[in-house]
Amino acid sequence: MEVESALEILHSIKLADIMPSIETMPVVTADTDIINVLKILRSRHHVWVVDDRENRELVGVIRYLDVMDLLLPPEAHRFKLGMTSNTMRSILGGATRAGDVAERQVLTIEEDATVLDALMKMRKYRIQVLAVVKDGKLVGEMSLRILIDELLRLLRVGGAQWKR
């Protein structure tokens, strides 16, 4: 299959058809101890925070780069203009649970959206992963890595050559 044809197919795929199962995703509840979140972030780029495992209402996300805020002392945050809310995101500032430090402004996309919809949103907001939701509940995620894997699968790369 040619790259152009593969991309056309990729763009039309519904997210629900290629997103990983929720069981394989890094998901914690809002009351999860911050140390357990750090253990997950050693090997993942983000952790989704939900209210509870059954309901899975999305509370927020903790990204790998957010660890800097966790490790800095509270006074280090005060030097950033307009970033005083991060003071409480520090372990020394009193953060003990995932819900204390989760970024609540999470970019989401509905599960019936297409890959093209997801790519457009990722580019617009310059992010690499979106929370996939249904009725406000976390049902999956979509990342650039997943999209790359799907394109390579469509091209049957492994033995097949790309045609231009």
Q: At what angle do helices 115-125 and 144-155 cross, to 10 degrees?
A: 140
pLDDT of residue 136: 87
Q: At what angle do helices 144-155 and 3-12 cross, to 10 degrees?
A: 130
Q: What's the longest Cα–Cα distance across the chain?
A: 56
Three-state SS sequence of the chain: CCHHHHHHHHHHCEHHHCCCCHHHCCEEECCCEHHHHHHHHCCCCEEEEECCCCCCEEEEEEEHHHHHHHHCCHHHHCCCCCCHHHHHHCCCCCCCEHHHHCECCCCEEECCCEHHHHHHHHHHHCCCEEEEEECCEEEEEEEHHHHHHHHHHHHCECCECCCC
CATH superfamily of 3-155: CBS-domain (3.10.580.10)
pLDDT of residue 117: 98
pLDDT of residue 162: 44
Among 121, 118, 124, 138, CA closest to 10: 118
pLDDT of residue 64: 92
Residues of the chain whose pLDDT is less than 50?
83-84, 159-164
pLDDT of residue 95: 87
